[in-house]
Structure 1
Amino acid sequence: MTDRRETGERELTITRVLDAPRRLVFQAWTDPAHVTAWFGPRGFTTPMSTIAMDVRPGGTWQATMIRDDDGAEYSTGGFYIEVSEPERLVFTWGAPGDTRQESVVTVELADLDGRTEMTLHQAGFTTDDSRDSHHDGWSSALDRLTERFREATA
Structure 2
Amino acid sequence: MDRKILKVEKRISADPTKLFRAWLNAKDFSLWFLSGEGIGIESVTMDPRPGGRFLINMELDGKILPHSGEYITIDEPHKLVFTWRSHATENRDTLVTVTFEEEKDSKHETKKSSKQKTTTLVTLIHEDLSSDLQIKMHNHGWTSILDSLSHWMESILE
Q: Tell me which interval the TM-score lies in, with the shorter structure as reference length.
A: 0.7 to 0.9
Match of 1:19 among 8, 13, 21: 13
Distance 1:99 1:59, change over 3 A: farther
State the Cα distance separating 1:21 from its structure 2 match. Answer: 1.1
Matches within 5 A, 1:1-154: 9-42=3-36, 43-47=38-42, 50-67=43-60, 70-95=61-86, 101-113=92-104, 114-154=118-158
Superposed CA offset, 1:65-123 (max 9, x none): 112xx222111111011110111000000039x98621100000011242211000000
Separation of aligned partners in 1, 2:101 and 2:28: 19
TM-score by structure 2 length?
0.82
Answer with 1 or 2: which has the greater Rg. 2
Residue 3 of structure 1 is matched in structure 2 by none
- 8 Å Cα contact 1:101/1:126 also seen in 2: no
Q: Structure 1: 5+ residue runs without aligned partners?
A: 1-7
User: In the comparison of the two structures, how many residue pairs are matched?
Assistant: 142
Give the 4+ runs in structure 1 shifted more than 2 A.
Answer: 150-154
Coordinate RMSD, CA, aligned: 2.0
Q: Structure 2: 5+ residue runs without aligned partners?
A: 105-117
- 8 Å Cα contact 1:19/1:153 also seen in 2: no
**Identity rate, percent:** 29
Superposed CA offset, 1:13-61 (max 9, x none): 01111111111101111101111111132322213xx211111111111
